């Protein structure tokens, strides 16, 4: 039996799909890589070779993450509002508030030195309206989940067309919630709306790996050409590259699952929320240490900082679980408003 299911089949799925975890692993590593590289380059005042990699991934780095986030929405969108809000709003709100507070605990002294503690307090409160730093992704997801369920009675084609128009408008108000909504909702909604097509693509990639590899080669060339020609941000082009890149990551995930290679990448994808929440601390610490105590080139430093961010986040998770600080990565029962359900098991490739 194949592990791929259509959107209809997903309503009964109780096991993880391994190629999705591979794709999510690629996504989360690209996110850590972006923050690590740009932060290192800003601190050093110059670019390294990793800047090229980050630029190449820019058109699809977040579109693929949002598309995959919407992929299994068919499983839960028909649930009652209480259960739905528990899984899709309270869940992310808990981690946002917790890790926002943790990040501020580390950053507050430096921020206070620049603007005083009153400014720190204002910034903390503002972070509930304007998403803070690296946490904006889990701030946006509940908005997307609620909007998608609330608009189910509206024509899906109309919603998709409006979402696509917003992406192509390249909205830039300076407010993260507005700008990222306009830029990303079309990908999340497409993951939900076109789940059948995504799983059909995965089936074809597994059945014809040679053709899939050829397609990846063509995509790589087109994406690189448009990015480094300065055309990737043109209206329509950015939308096309976002979807093309998301499909490329999905196909790559399928091929890795088919070959059963890079199991560590799958592990990262299965625990992407852990990495996303905690990578900021080892990333910042390793960047400071490497820039201060080594003479490595900026590209190498950026690569090492990326590795430290990913591995450090997993180490923090492991340590927290071992010493009983499970609330850092698992929502306590007191913050559930609907009965808890077991996590799905991984379904291996066949």
- In a domain, residue 1? The reply is no
Give the pLDDT score at 206.
Answer: 94
Give the pLDDT score at 347.
Answer: 42
- In a domain, residue 2? The reply is no
Q: Which two tokens stand for residue 86?
A: 């528990």
Extended beta strands in 193-276, E state: none
- In a domain, residue 294? The reply is yes
For every one of its 350 residues, what pLDDT tens digit does the chain have, with 9 covering 90 and above? 233 333 334 333 445 788 999 999 999 999 999 999 999 999 999 999 999 999 999 999 999 999 999 999 988 999 999 999 999 999 999 999 999 999 988 888 888 888 888 888 888 999 999 998 889 999 999 999 999 999 999 999 999 999 999 999 999 999 999 999 999 999 999 999 999 999 999 999 999 999 999 999 999 999 999 999 999 999 999 999 999 999 999 999 999 999 888 999 999 999 999 999 999 999 999 999 999 999 899 999 999 999 999 999 999 999 999 999 999 999 999 999 888 766 654 343 33
Distance CA 99, CA 94 (A): 9
Distance CA 1, CA 7 (A): 17
- In a domain, residue 3? The reply is no
> Which among 66, 74, 70, 53 is positioned nearest to 27, based on CA atoms?
66
> Which among 305, 201, 207 is positioned nearest to 249, based on CA atoms?
201
Query: Do residues 8 and 78 touch, judged by C-beta distance below 8 A?
Result: no
Residue 5, classed as helix, strand or coil, is: coil
Give the pLDDT score at 4.
Answer: 38
Query: What is the per-residue burial (b if ≥16 Cβ within 10 Å, else e) of 269-278?
Result: bbbbbbbbbb
Residue 173, classed as helix, strand or coil, is: coil
Give the pLDDT score at 228.
Answer: 95
Give the pLDDT score at 3.
Answer: 37
Distance CA 190, CA 69 (A): 10
- In a domain, residue 201? The reply is yes
Q: Which domain, by its residues, includes 56?
A: 9-347
- In a domain, residue 236? The reply is yes
Number of structural domains in the chain: 1
Give the pLDDT score at 246.
Answer: 96
- In a domain, residue 4? The reply is no
Distance CA 128, CA 315 (A): 28
Q: Which two tokens stand for residue 293?
A: 């105590």
Give the pLDDT score at 342.
Answer: 61
- In a domain, residue 218? The reply is yes
pTM: 0.89
């Amino acid at each position: 039996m194949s592990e791929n299911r259509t959107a209809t089949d997903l309503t009964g799925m109780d096991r993880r799909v391994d190629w999705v975890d591979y794709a999510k692993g690629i996504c989360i590593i690209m996110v850590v890589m972006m923050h690590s590289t740009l932060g290192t380059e800003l601190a050093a005042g110059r670019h390294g070779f990793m800047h090229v990699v980050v630029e190449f991934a820019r058109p699809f780095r977040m579109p693929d993450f949002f598309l995959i986030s919407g992929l299994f929405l068919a499983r839960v969108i028909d649930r009652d509002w209480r259960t739905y809000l528990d899984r899709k709003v309270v869940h992310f709100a808990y981690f946002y508030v917790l890790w926002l507070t943790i990040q501020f605990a580390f950053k507050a002294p430096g921020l206070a030195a620049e603007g005083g503690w009153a400014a720190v307090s204002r910034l903390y409160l503002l972070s509930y309206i304007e998403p803070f730093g690296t946490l904006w992704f889990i701030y946006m997801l509940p908005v997307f989940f609620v909007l998608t369920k609330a608009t189910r009675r509206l024509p899906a084609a109309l919603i998709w067309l409006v979402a696509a128009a917003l992406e192509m408008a390249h909205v830039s108000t300076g407010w993260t919630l507005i700008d990222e909504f306009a830029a990303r909702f079309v990908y999340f909604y497409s993951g939900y709306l076109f789940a059948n097509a995504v799983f059909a693509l995965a089936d074809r990639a597994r059945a014809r790996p040679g053709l899939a590899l050829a397609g990846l080669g063509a995509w790589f060339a087109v994406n690189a050409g448009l990015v480094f020609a300065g055309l990737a941000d043109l209206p329509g082009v950015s939308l096309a590259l976002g979807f093309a890149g998301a499909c490329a990551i999905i196909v790559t995930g399928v091929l890795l699952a088919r070959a059963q290679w890079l199991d560590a990448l799958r592990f990262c994808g299965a625990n992407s929320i852990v990495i996303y929440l905690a990578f900021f601390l080892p990333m910042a610490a390793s960047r400071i240490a490497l820039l201060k105590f080594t003479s490595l080139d900026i590209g190498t430093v950026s690569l090492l900082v990326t590795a430290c961010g990913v591995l450090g986040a997993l180490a923090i998770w492991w340590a927290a679980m071992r010493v009983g600080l499970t609330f850092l990565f698992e929502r306590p029962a007191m913050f559930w408003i609907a009965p808890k359900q077991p996590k799905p098991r991984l379904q291996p490739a066949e």
